[in-house]
Structure 1
């Protein structure tokens, strides 16, 4: 299953492609062009056809921007990708720490007055407004996509089949979802939905247009009378059988994608759009009064129902057993002649062996030694390196199962770890345990939880440059909003939401550490004398041992030690019966109390 899906661009090609883009700029009478990592649907992940940022610059991370001017060009990446961008992107592109420095600020300083082109399908309303506000004398000009004009071998648009998500796994018929969400869009009489995962959730369908993400490329208009107009390439619906209406039902009308913009223009009542995800092209096609509000599917989708939570638990038990078999093999074989790619292939083979894997949930991160310090490192044939004694191996991976999506990171010692690695690992572990044990009042958001993961690192002057946790879908995107545990996480956490708990630490050029479990928000039982009306806590879903060789047990408090021992006892109890032979013996050793 290991494949490198990244769009190919070497630093030398980046120089050539930037030059070609500048020729197109001059022909269009523009002074600059904005290249986001985005597509017309504004989801986080893009198909190869839409990976324009990677094609132009060589940067393959999941978030970033490029601004190309006639004399200067810059790539904007956040702290997760600083090292990666340095390795992948030619010096002709200035590297900008984003969002510390925003696009508008850079354009204002680098260009002053001038005309900057943008593809109106690839900027949201919010993004365009922020750029217009901050770009000073620069003028934003909608235009055809100039990267597409010079990308000679651009892949075709994806056309993967759509399948039905059974109601026993979805937990609610999609007709009921449609009625429930339609009732909530007032005062609007219709709502435009562009996010692929929102459409998939609303209609209880899954797709295959995005690698590793079971979502379809489509657009939808939800009407207040609980009708849905679905704009999609009808060839994709072959996965629903000879009669797609048997699943979609009479309230869903299928229309060609080419009719989407004319249909928007024909709407004559207030129309709800989400400025955070609505492309400028969609907003400008409307003639009716827009009502701006969040995508109405976001919160209902994030609040997993009982069937989805049961599915997540089953998926994590299955996935935990696959991880245990992998880790038992790794302990027996490493370092040997293993490389990072060999590690990926073995782990993916263990997941395939479950007989339930639909796909992995993202490209497996397998980083040894200094490669582990690249937060979202993706191994390729060009970067593959052997495992070496005395180094750490960081493996971040997950599976897509019909009943749930998994995402887990474990950092393992290869041979004897050093004192600095043990100290850093223990601090990261203490942060992960702090979040796992937390009880907190209803109404708190991820930004309120985030400091608990960092406090022990902060005491040593250390930190990590990514959020502590992201939302996770139910056989949907492994990154799901709007919930997240981060400084920027403002959405209150609610029962049923699944988030990751993944603090880390990275020493550039030396090692990287991350420990990640998925957790579900649940109501916390009241305590004697409790004065807070209602509190929440986390149920840990991930069931995989944490490497005891990297833990300084003396640095743990009694409460932390008790949590860790209880967690390992639970892992042994739930995963042990799914294993046999050497893997079962390994699990018993790995789950011993400390």
Structure 2
């Protein structure tokens, strides 16, 4: 189908054929994944939206697309206002929008393999108040009108060595079995792909940028497990790794297998398992315990081997990024670089490590006004030259077998304006405040978020994204349950207590629409802090990311002595750790880029 208008018309015709008055289209897969395989990119196929979070609703005469503040600009550039209205979440929910736009008797379809039980319940209530009905479809109507829809990946699983995982799969399954015993449950459903990868110490290639495999799993109270994956994806090496205690079934057999739990108590996560799983268990006569996936928290709290791995990955990645920043300092002033050529060069530097398995997400390579699009993804159509006297924002990361990285740097090409320096320095002050924070055990990310925003707020400024997200260990670059974000903001995870071993990003920013974007991002490890005279256990952050911060963008007059000391100390660490890993010409540049600022005059 040649245009997005044609695709929308085809879907409406298919809905009419099925006697449906509307359909809800989320950007996810059967595992509630944030990043999904090509076969599940239904929202992008239908609308043209390329972001990593969003949903849409199609009615006979109206259509709406729902995104959060990260995508306010992007959605308007990629999705036609002639056919779609733009809705902001969490201000407007799909359920509320439906309630305001349907009429009595309307039948609104949804795919029960793509929505949580809680969403289905809230949407059902909202529609019922209008005399309308939410209808579960047996097959997704978009699939019926998507003629060249890709097949799911057939890539094989690979073993994640115990030496990097830190614990064997048998140990992890035994811990889940102990948890099931405490809950008096017979089995736990694992449907989140990263939970399955972590629990069984396997990785895959089924989702771009995230090393997971399409699978379901059931972990039983005796420590055995049932793993559901396409048979051709499991070779002899993986089969031996899994062992006799893990029974392997075809992924297509998962739904039918749930019918065998009559009279059993089964734990399933209402935030991660789709509605269809709950419906199948209920239909089977099982007692469903709505509990958090037992792999989520231990996966987030990294063990010593995982921490050592991520430190090694960050040094390797920091050296590659530093080489790129040096290259950029030479080439960008010539005025010939563009966003595509720059991001490809950065990928090449990472690839030259010989350890890169994939990028951890699509690089955000934003020049000038494109840097103000928070989750911008450059294309041939949007590709912009990196112009003199402008800002260039690059947010990128790598997937290495020992760790996952995510780092953002904002670089001045030529002379920055005083406003650019002011905004950058306010973002830097917030970044430093969070990096230096010491807090009692039990503190939530939402309690720390203000530290990063305070200097922007003082000038009447802010940013429309969370300050920090969890990061996996050679897994998802966006990992829960922890997050640093405003309370009640719609960013899930802000109320999760931070615990030693968790990895998060520290990434405040500022975005001036049509002009430039600024973000400074390092990854940090939550670590114990010994405080003299402390009356309770305290935590703080250990910085994991090492690459220079552009000093030409810093207004030294806005930094106090402690902030200057932090920046000098950080750059001294960069020089000490990264200097030996880069070529001599890069090291000469790095010496200047990391020179102390103490004693320099404010500007």
Tell me, yes or no, whether TM beats 0.5.
Answer: yes
Q: 1:85 aligns with which of 59, 63, 75?
A: 75
Specify whether residues 421 and 25 from structure 1 end up closer, same or farther in structure 2 by C-alpha distance, changes over 3 A only.
same
Structure 1 Cα separation of the partners of residues 550 and 349 of structure 2: 19
Structure 2 Cα separation of the partners of residues 359 and 262 of structure 1: 35
Pairs aligned (count): 579
Give the aligned partner of residue 4 of structure 1.
Answer: none
Preserved CA contact (<8 Å) 2:159 2:238: no
Matches for 1:168-187 after TM superposition, within 5 Å: 168-185=163-180, 186-187=183-184
User: Deviation at 1:335?
Assistant: 3.3
Give the aligned partner of residue 99 of structure 1.
Answer: 90
Preserved CA contact (<8 Å) 2:116 2:274: yes
Asked whether 1:398 is paired with 2:397, we answer: yes
User: Partner of 2:465: helix, strand, or coil?
Assistant: coil
List structure 1 segments (4+ residues) > 4 angstroms apart after TM superposition.
none
Preserved CA contact (<8 Å) 2:357 2:399: yes
Which ranges of structure 1 fall in alignment gaps of 5 or more residues?
Answer: 1-8
Give the aligned partner of residue 509 of structure 2.
Answer: 504
User: Partner of 1:296: helix, strand, or coil?
Assistant: coil
CA RMSD of aligned residues (A): 1.0
Preserved CA contact (<8 Å) 1:361 1:406: yes
Q: Deviations over 1:283-331 (max 9, x none)?
A: 1111211010111110000000000000010000111111111100100
Give the aligned partner of residue 492 of structure 1.
Answer: 497
Give the aligned partner of residue 313 of structure 2.
Answer: 315
User: Partner of 2:179: helix, strand, or coil?
Assistant: coil
Give the aligned partner of residue 520 of structure 1.
Answer: 525
Preserved CA contact (<8 Å) 1:125 1:277: no
Asked whether 1:52 is paired with 2:42, we answer: yes
Preserved CA contact (<8 Å) 1:374 1:512: yes
Asked whether 1:220 is paired with 2:217, we answer: yes
Structure 1 Cα separation of the partners of residues 430 and 590 of structure 2: 24
Q: 2:233 aligns with which of 206, 228, 236?
A: 236
Structure 2 Cα separation of the partners of residues 574 and 305 of structure 1: 23
Give the aligned partner of residue 114 of structure 2.
Answer: 122
Matches for 1:436-475 after TM superposition, within 5 Å: 436-475=435-474
Specify whether residues 243 and 555 from structure 1 end up closer, same or farther in structure 2 by C-alpha distance, changes over 3 A only.
closer
Give the aligned partner of residue 600 of structure 2.
Answer: none
Preserved CA contact (<8 Å) 2:158 2:238: no
User: Deviation at 1:14?
Assistant: 1.8
User: Deviation at 1:249?
Assistant: 1.3
Preserved CA contact (<8 Å) 2:197 2:212: yes
Preserved CA contact (<8 Å) 1:368 1:387: yes
Structure 1 Cα separation of the partners of residues 34 and 140 of structure 2: 19
User: Deviation at 1:243?
Assistant: 4.5
Q: 1:296 aligns with which of 247, 272, 294?
A: 294
Matches for 1:319-468 after TM superposition, within 5 Å: 319-336=317-334, 337-468=336-467
Structure 2 Cα separation of the partners of residues 430 and 572 of structure 1: 21
Q: How does the TM-score come out when normalised to structure 2?
A: 0.95
Q: Deviations over 1:392-431 (max 9, x none)?
A: 0000000111100000000000000011111000000000
Q: Deviations over 1:58-97 (max 9, x none)?
A: 1010000000001111000000001000000011100001
Give the aligned partner of residue 190 of structure 1.
Answer: 187
Structure 2 Cα separation of the partners of residues 229 and 62 of structure 1: 30
Structure 2 Cα separation of the partners of residues 145 and 124 of structure 1: 16
Asked whether 1:280 is paired with 2:275, we answer: yes
